[in-house]
Amino acid sequence: MDTKPFMWLPIPTRHGWRVTLHTLEGQIPADYAEAAERLAHSWGVHAVRVSSDKPGRVRLAATVRDPLVKVDELPPSTELLKVTVGRLETGTPWVIDFRTVPHWINAGATQSGKSNLANALIVGLAPQPVALVGFDLKGGVEFTPYAPRLSALATTRAECGGLLDDLVALMTDRMGVCRMAVRPRERPSRIIREGL
C-alpha cells in the first residue's frame, strides 16, 4: 500500500530546514535513517539527518551545503567542565559536557582527528579550575607543550603506571572523605516502627 506519512510544514534552519513526520504503523526512525541518503539526493541537499524526540514522530533535518567546509572560530564555553570543541555535521556547535557525560573514549582510524579533538579539549579546559593530567605514550610529542598547565604528564609506560597508582590513591582518599560525609542511615526497623 502506498501511503505517505503525514508531514508538517518544513521549518527553515541556519543550514537548511527541518520537518517532522508521523511514522506509519510499524515504522521506526531507523527506516528513515536508512533512506536518508536517498532523500538527500532526491531533495538535492548535502545531507539529511534523522532524529526522534517522541514515539511516532521522526524529524528530518536537511543541510543544503556542508557546514564544515568553512572553518570558523566558536566562542569558548564559559561553563565549568563544558567545552565547545568544534561544529557537528549539522553545523551546530559540538559541545562536550563532562558534567552530563563524565567518561569519553576518543578513538578512530589513523588521521581521523583524534589529536585535534584532544587538543581542543585541553585548550577548552585549560582556563577552567580543573586538574588535568596527561598520558602521552607518543613519547610526550602530543602533550609536552601543555606540560606547564598539567598537574602531571606521563610519557613512558613506567611513568603511566606510576601516575595511575597516584590517581587511584587520590581517588581512594576522596572516597574516604565522601564516606565520612555520608549521614548514617536510619535503621529500617526503626522507620517501620515509627510508620506504624
Ligand X SMILES: Nc1ncnc2c1ncn2[C@@H]1O[C@H](COP(=O)(O)OP(=O)(O)OP(=O)(O)O)[C@@H](O)[C@H]1O
Q: Using H for helix, E for strand and C for coil, what is the string for the chain?
A: CCCCCCECCCEEECCEEEEEEECCCCCCHHHHHHHHHHHHHHHCCCEEEEECCCCCEEEEEEECCCCCCCCCCCCCCCCCCEEEEEECCCCCEEEEECCCCCCCCCCCCCCCCHHHHHHHHHHHHCCCCCCCEEECCCCCCCCHHHHHHCCEEECCHHHHHHHHHHHHHHHHHHHHHHHHHCCCCCCHHHHHHHHC
Residue 78 binding result from Mg ion, ligand X, none, given CB thresholds of 5 to 8 Å by partner type: none
**In angstroms, what is the minimal distance from the CB of 102 to ligand X?**
23
Residue 172 binding result from ligand X, Mg ion, none, given CB thresholds of 5 to 8 Å by partner type: none
Closer CB to ligand X, 46 or 114, in the complex: 114
Residue 29 binding result from Mg ion, ligand X, none, given CB thresholds of 5 to 8 Å by partner type: none
**In angstroms, what is the minimal distance from the CB of 92 to ligand X?**
14
Which residues of the shown chain bind ligand X in the complex (CB under 6 A)? 86, 108, 110-116
Closer CB to ligand X, 68 or 133, in the complex: 68
